[in-house]
A and B are shown apart, each in its own frame.
Chain A
Amino acid sequence: MSDLLEVQGVSKRFGGLHAVSNVSFQIREGEILGLIGPNGAGKTTLFNIVNGVYKPDKGTIAFAGKDITGLAPNRVVKMGLSRTHQIVKPLNSLSVLDNVTVGACFGRESLGLNAARETAREVLKRVGLGDRAESSARNLTLASKKRLEVARALAAKPTLLLLDEVLAGLNPTEVTQMIELLRKIRDDGVSVFMIEHVMQAIMKLSDRIVVLNFGQKLAEGTPKEISHDPHVIEAYLGDEDIAEKLMEKN
């Protein structure tokens, strides 16, 4: 398998804070890569660097063989890299359908309005929002808004999807549904890079996991390796028993 995304030694500081320092990793085609770490570890900042919201102070990012370091987010989307937001950003007074249509219109395929609307309807059905297409985005529940984020990103027809805590704040049933959806997305050939605090989910879903702590890469490996890594246990998981339990549930 070849590398879809290659992040080489990126750093980003805000004033005196080293939000991300010298982080490198790769995402292979068709894999789900998890990103975990304590709050404030720099996970969302790393996402923002990858999709171009921030320009890294150092380091390079290559996507599908092309250098995208410092490229604006709107251009990165056109190349097939979409993302969702941890704090949902619905286009409130537009309908749910229009929200997703925006994603399809300005995504990788730059569809015309009618074709985009069709794509949007398909995607909405897929994420289980088909019956809410005509309502205002502001009237959705948080769980539905998270799905809307995923739908908008999917409508852009990405080859790599960045998911920022799409499971946070969902109840167990909703989590199960979302996991089901993410599996299907991967089966359709979309690679996924996801930040998540819901440990069972990320252990179950990920092929590999990267752990961040204080802006630095602490560890990288399969879920099994990660859950037994002493550094990760110390910094994030807390104690060995939890790690054991997490793996048992798989």
Chain B
Amino acid sequence: MILLRPMFWITLLLAALFIYLPLRNNDAAMREDLILVAVAIILVSNLNLMIGYTGYVNFGHIVFYGLGGYVGMYLVTARGWHLPTAALTAGIVVSLCALLFGLGILRLRGAYFALATIGVLVAVNAFVRNVDAFGRSTGMYLSFESYQPLGGAMRALWITYYLIIGVMVLSMLLSLLIKRSKFGLGLFAIREDEDAAIVLGINTTTYKAIIYSLSAFLPAVAGALVFFKNGMIDPDIAFEYMLSLEGIVMLMLGGQGTVLGAALGAALYERLRSYLLTSPKLSNFHLVIAGGLLLVVVLFASGGLIGWLYKFVPRSQKVIE
């Protein structure tokens, strides 16, 4: 029962905090900060399903977020759909795309798979830049009227914010559910030794395809929501290569394979990144920090912050998943 697990309540508490904090003073600046954190948590939690659970490193995870943003924006601007249906459809379309990509590249293992994921990112980026319906290199802009169904721009921003928090909670709960399921056990077996997993009876082809496709769904929904809120999308923002790499740093920092680790790493790194990006003297210095952090984690604490906690307080494993 998920209700009996402390991590379920920790997740809900986190959500309550995200809702309460900006609402207290109707603080729009804080809301924007928290959106960045929430998006990082969404991306990293779903990336964790691939890297932490299944042992397949995806360097191009951001492609799902960007493509979701594009599909969502297209449906809202060109087709006049409402946001919730557009976002949900974006998630479904992108998951199906991922299933298709997955059937092609999931035959590869290790470094070859990782390289292929970069290929997917580059290819989708190039594709989007050449499609008229997606506005080619200039991207797409939202007309102000698109906010009307949600009761005007002001209200639309807040509603979108809550929807993003909802997606964040779902991302964490999804990780939580998979972690203690038969499906999750199968994924862990693949991570540990794929050949052994096959001999033990796991249909690894199907399992990998499902998790790759599933790890695309919520990031795509989030992409549709975020770019709707921003009112515009272009290929450079949608497919930010660097963010894709930083996602891996966030996951390693927090602790791959753990639900809280993914969220914690994402939140900590995102706050640090925002601070460094906005401080005039240290602009772009965050990449130096990212590289340094990755080195330190890989060399000295391969389990990240949560792994470190597990090591010194073994009993914490029962509470923190």
Q: Which of B177-193 contact A (CB under 8 A)?
A: 180-182, 185-186, 188-189, 192-193
* Chain B CB within 8 A of A74 CB: yes
* Given A73-B199, A74-B203, A77-B200, A89:B185 Cβ within 8 A: no
Min C-beta distance of B118 to chain A, whole Å: 27
CB of B189 within 8 A of CB of A94, answer yes
A74 with B204: in contact, given A85-B199, A105-B182, A112-B182 (CB under 8 Å)? yes
Residues from chain A with a CB closer than 8 A to the CB of B182 are 105, 112-113, 116
Contact with A along B187-225 (1 / 0, CB 8 A): 011001101111111111000000000000000000000
In the bound complex, how far is the Cα of B200 from the Cα of A51, in angstroms?
11
A83 to B198, CA, bound (A): 11
Among A94, A110, A152, A156, which residue has its beta carbon within 8 angstroms of that of B188? A94
Determine the residue in chain A with the shortest Cβ distance to B192.
A91
- Cβ of B193: which chain A residues have Cβ within 8 Å of it? 89-92
Q: Which residues of B contact A110 (CB under 8 A)?
A: 201
Kindly state the interface size class of chain B when it binds its partner.
10 to 19
Contact partner, A72, options B181, B189, B198, Cβ 8 Å:
B198
B188 in contact with A98 (CB, 8 Å): yes
CA distance A27 to B182 in the complex (A): 33
Asked whether B186 lies within 8 Å of A102 as measured between CB atoms, the reply is yes
Q: Is the CB of B192 within 8 A of A93?
A: yes
**A106 is contacted by which of B180, B192, B201 (Cβ under 8 Å)?**
B201
Chain B residues, CB < 8 A from A73: 198-199, 201
Give A82-100 as 1s and 0s: 1 = Cβ < 8 Å from B's Cβ atoms. 0101000111111000100
Residues of A within 8 A of B195 (CB): 53, 89
B residues 130-189 touching A (CB-CB < 8 Å): 180-182, 185-186, 188-189
Residues of B within 8 A of A94 (CB): 188-189, 192
A103 within 8 A of B: yes
Which of B185, B189, B201, B204 interacts with A113 by CB under 8 Å? Answer: B185
Q: B202 near A106 (CB under 8 angstroms)?
A: yes
Given known A89-B195, A112-B182, contact A78–B188 (CB-CB < 8 A): no
CB-defined contacts of A227 to chain B, threshold 8 Å: none
Inter-chain contact B201/A77, CB cutoff 8 Å: yes
Asked if residues A152 and B200 are in contact (CB atoms below 8 Å), the reply is yes
Chain B residues in 8 Å Cβ range of A53: 195, 198-199
* A91 in contact with B196 given A98-B185, A105-B182 (CB within 8 Å): yes
Q: Flag whether A44 is at the interface (Cβ < 8 A).
A: no
Docked complex Cα distance between A85 and B196 (Å): 9
> CB of A101 within 8 A of chain B?
yes
Q: Does A107 contact B (CB under 8 A)?
A: yes
Which among B189, B193, B196, B199 has the greatest number of chain A C-beta atoms within 10 A?
Answer: B199
Q: A74, B196: Cβ atoms under 8 Å?
A: no
For the complex formed, measure the closest distance between the CB of B317 and the CB atoms of chain A, giving whole angstroms.
Answer: 11
Contact B202 A74 (CB under 8 A): yes
A91 close to B188 (CB less than 8 A): yes
Cα separation A74 to B230 with both chains bound (whole Å): 47
**CB-CB < 8 A to B204: which residues of A?**
74
**Per-residue 0/1 for A138-179: is the Cβ within 8 Å of any B Cβ (1 yes, 0 no)?**
000000000000001000100000000000000000000000
In contact, B196 and A105 (Cβ under 8 angstroms): no
Q: Assess the A51–B196 pair: CB atoms within 8 A.
A: no
> From residue B196, how far is it (CB to closest CB) to chain A in Å?
4
Residues of B within 8 A of A90 (CB): 192-193, 196
Given contact pairs A98-B185, A112-B182, A113-B181, A103 touches B200 in the complex (Cβ within 8 A): yes
- Residues in B lying within 8 Å of A, measured CB to CB: 180-182, 185-186, 188-189, 192-193, 195-204
Beyond the given A51-B199, A77-B200, A113-B180, please list 16 additional residue pairs across the A-B interface where CB-CB is below 8 A.
Answer: A53-B198, A72-B203, A85-B199, A89-B193, A90-B192, A90-B193, A91-B188, A91-B193, A92-B193, A101-B185, A102-B202, A106-B201, A107-B200, A113-B182, A113-B185, A156-B200
Binding site for B on A (CB under 8 A): 51, 53, 72-75, 77-78, 83, 85, 89-94, 98, 101-103, 105-107, 110, 112-113, 116, 152, 156
A and B contact pairs by CB, cutoff 8 A, 21 listed: A51-B199, A73-B199, A74-B200, A74-B201, A74-B203, A74-B204, A77-B199, A89-B193, A90-B193, A91-B192, A91-B197, A94-B189, A98-B185, A101-B185, A102-B185, A102-B189, A106-B186, A106-B200, A112-B182, A113-B180, A113-B182
Leading 4 A-B pairs by shortest Cβ distance: A106-B201, A91-B192, A77-B201, A89-B196
